Chain A
Amino acid sequence: MTSIYYKKINEMKKVFIEGAIQPGFVAEAIAKHQSKKNIGAHNIFLGQIRADEVDGKQMNAITYSAYEEMAAEKLHEIREDAFAKFNLTCMHIYHSLGKVKAGELCFFVFVSSKRRKQVYQATEYLVNRVKSEVPIFGKEIFASKEFQWKVNV
């Protein structure tokens, strides 16, 4: 690969977290913004694993995998688009890889702006685009150890 490719990857932010996103990590992310005094509004989306029942079987975890190189490029593009579209101070996107149990967090989108109006729209825009355009794959694991591949609706 060329050095340009590596430069691009290095400029990209860390998105993937091994296993569940811990509530303490979310708290820490909020705390880091207390020094940024031009921010007047934060909005947070947290995706949590639901214990769905399918044909009488209880789902108890999702194992995520991703095409990480393409995901990094796509997330970079989504982030640039969101900064162009909304008046944001900063934005953070985190997603789990590996196993996340029901009740745990797998997706964390954090948007900050000077005023509140745009943070709602920006959060929804980011969540929708990540779900539909970033190559992440979820395998739903049942208590019986059977599995099925997750489909986004």
Chain B
Amino acid sequence: MLRIKYFGVMAEVARCDEEKLALKDKSFSSLISALHEKYAIYNLPVQVAVNRKIRKQNENFNLEENDEIAVLPPFSGG
């Protein structure tokens, strides 16, 4: 299980600030597919951060159990 944090409008789409998702394997591409299946993220202007760094959705690498994952809408500070 991986812990995912949601921010801004994405927390409203997911109806929570945080949840755990079970993936078929611990790859980043499985995470992106799971998020798309659940929330249609390909159609949303969101970015995914792993351990506080934005990663491209087409990157592939393995995730660790305690990685900090966050789905972020466009930044609108200021």
Q: A133 at interface (Cβ–Cβ under 8 A)?
A: yes
Whether B77 lies near A95 (C-beta < 8 A) is yes
Contacts of A149 in B (CB 8 A): 8-9, 73, 76
Q: A69-B52, A70-B52 are in contact. Are A130 and B8 (CB under 8 A)?
A: no
Chain A, interface SS category: mixed
Q: A67-B5, A149-B8 are in contact. Are A137 and B78 (CB under 8 A)?
A: no
Contacts of A151 in B (CB 8 A): 74, 76
Q: A110 at interface (Cβ–Cβ under 8 A)?
A: no
Whether A131 lies near B77 (C-beta < 8 A) is yes
**Nearest chain A CB to B15's CB is how many angstroms away?**
16
Contacts of B74 in A (CB 8 A): 151-152
Contacts of B76 in A (CB 8 A): 131, 136-138, 149-152
**B77 to chain A: closest residue by CB:** A136
Whether A132 lies near B75 (C-beta < 8 A) is yes
1/0 contact string of B1-25 vs chain A (CB within 8 Å) = 0000101110000000000000000
**Nearest chain A CB to B76's CB is how many angstroms away?**
4
Contacts of A150 in B (CB 8 A): 76
* Chain B count of residues within 8 A CB distance of the other chain: 15
Q: B49 at interface (Cβ–Cβ under 8 A)?
A: yes
**Nearest chain A CB to B33's CB is how many angstroms away?**
23
Whether B68 lies near A135 (C-beta < 8 A) is no
Of residues 96 through 136 on chain A, the ones whose CB sits less than 8 Å from some CB of chain B are 106-107, 127, 130-136
Of residues 67 through 82 on chain A, the ones whose CB sits less than 8 Å from some CB of chain B are 67, 69-70, 73-74
How far does the alpha carbon of A65 sit from the alpha carbon of B76 in the complex, in Å? 10
1/0 contact string of B57-78 vs chain A (CB within 8 Å) = 0000000000010101111111
Contacts of B9 in A (CB 8 A): 137, 149
Whether A135 lies near B78 (C-beta < 8 A) is no
**Nearest chain A CB to B45's CB is how many angstroms away?**
9
How far does the alpha carbon of A23 sit from the alpha carbon of B54 in the complex, in Å? 35
Q: A139 at interface (Cβ–Cβ under 8 A)?
A: yes
Whether A133 lies near B8 (C-beta < 8 A) is no
